Amino acid sequence: MDKPLGPAHIKAALFDFDGTLADTERFGIELDEEAYAYYGITPTEAEKASLSGTDGLESIPALFHAHGLGVSAEEFFAHRRPSDVIYQELPIKASPGAREVMRRLRAAGARIAVVSTTRHALVETVLGRIGLADLVDVVIGGDDVEHHKPNPEPYARALEKLATTPAEAVAFEDSPSGVASAQAAGVYTFGFTGSCVPQELPAADERFHSFEELAK
């Protein structure tokens, strides 16, 4: 089946945050490694990346199962520093070119949403810290929805808030679960492969390595 064409006129641009708009995932992996050390395992790079873009409820037990351990997400996070420190304190920067892409989309009449598994308040905080808050109309955080990515609910909620149809929107994602979530909501999806934890995104409608490419 041929992939769908993107909208002729973009009315809504929906951005994942972690690993897409900002390089947070390397910090998250550092926190994860503290918990891995507690349990005495050394996951592969691919296994570490498998947690990216997820809430961990399924991906964490799967990772530990591969190492012969039964560890729930709740148990894992009990031995890991809270992610809040990433968004509130660590030296995060916006992905190169991301602000320019967002600015150009707004100038062309699009509204902007950030769709994340991270808590709403933390996303709001970090957008302000990295200088993108003024470009964002709507934030959908993990605590704003019942079902997380790859379920379509986060993107469907963003479209509802923006009063926009899927056919008028595009999404930018760096993980398979994020791509699946956006596409399940009917949104044409660009897969970002320039994350510090790059992942294969064969299902994305288009792929790009840097926002600077799109800003030209």
pTM: 0.86
Domain ranges of the chain: 12-24+93-215, 25-88
Residue 53 pLDDT exceeds 80: no
- Residue type (1 letter), 209: H
The model's pLDDT over 97-116, given as tens digits with 9 standing for 90+, comes to: 999 999 999 999 999 999 99
Residue 191 has pLDDT above 90, yes or no: yes
CB proximity list for 115: less than 8 A, separation 6 or greater: 14, 15, 16, 17, 140, 154, 155, 158, 171, 181, 182
Q: How confident is the model at residue 29 (pLDDT cuts 50, 70, 90)?
A: confident
Peptide bond into 150 cis (omega under 30): yes
At 60-77, the pLDDT tens digits run 999 999 999 999 999 999
Helix 153-162 × helix 176-184 angle, to 10°: 50
Give 113-154 pLDDT, tens digit per residue: 999 999 999 999 999 999 999 999 999 999 999 999 999 999
Can you identify the CATH homologous superfamily of domain 12-24+93-215?
A: HAD superfamily/HAD-like (3.40.50.1000)
